[in-house]
A and B are shown apart, each in its own frame.
Chain A
Amino acid sequence: MRNEIRRLREMHDLTQAALGAKIGVSRQTINSLETGKYDPSLPLAFTIARHFGLSIEEIFHVDE
């Protein structure tokens, strides 16, 4: 699954650690999400979407 987390994080001028602290996960988890190694749970996806004021579909895209 692809996502827009890195682009959104950089747009908001946040480090991985800062974004992680804001949504309650570690810096490593943010890094794994950005590199596509880890797909978040639905609650975490909602938390990320809510943090950026977007819908889940605008952030996460299923690889076709």
Chain B
Amino acid sequence: MLTSDRSVATDKTTTAWFAGVAVGLVGTLGLALAVGSAGHPDTAAGIVTGGMLVLVLAAAARWRSASAPDRAGTAARIAAGRPDERDVRVHQATLSVVGAVAIVLSGLSSAATFVDVDAAVIVRTMPFLLVLTMVCAFVVVNRRT
């Protein structure tokens, strides 16, 4: 890769990272506003807290990967939008596991509604299960790659 190519690639990843943060910010506030105006202020507060926590962690990861690149881990580089090719492979493998688990969970959830499990409980539990899956898959893939 030529130096000019690398700087263009860096510019693109920087733009993509800031775009991602902006979308996350607007999405979080928009969702919180919608949920809050529907009469669920506590849930809206939770959405804002969770969303802002993720954005702050992403900003901290970006700062860490810039100030101490030697000590930044795979997750920090991915969250910072500065992954190398191994980080990209770990990220893709992790998300492929999450995708496969999501298909299985959606099937099980569908079946669960037939045995009188509350659909709202299923829908609200699903994101937490997928995040848990992502964390576990990331740890395993990162250690093995």
Contacts and interface: CB of A to CB of B under 8 A. Distances in A.
Contacts of B69: 21, 26
A29 B84 contact: yes
B130 to A, nearest CB: 26
A26 B77 contact: yes
Contacts of A47: 1
Interface string A40-58: 1101100100000000000
Contact of A26 (B6, B87, B89, B145): B87
A37 B144 contact: yes
A17 B86 contact: no
B1 A32 contact: no
A26 B86 contact: yes
Contacts of A21: 69
B116 interface: no
Contacts of A25: 84-86
A40 B145 CA distance: 11
Interface in B48-95: 69-70, 72-74, 77, 84-87, 89
Interface of B: 1, 6, 69-70, 72-74, 77, 84-87, 89, 144-145
Interface of A: 17, 21, 24-29, 32, 37-38, 40-41, 43-44, 47
5 contacts: A21-B69, A24-B6, A32-B145, A37-B145, A38-B89
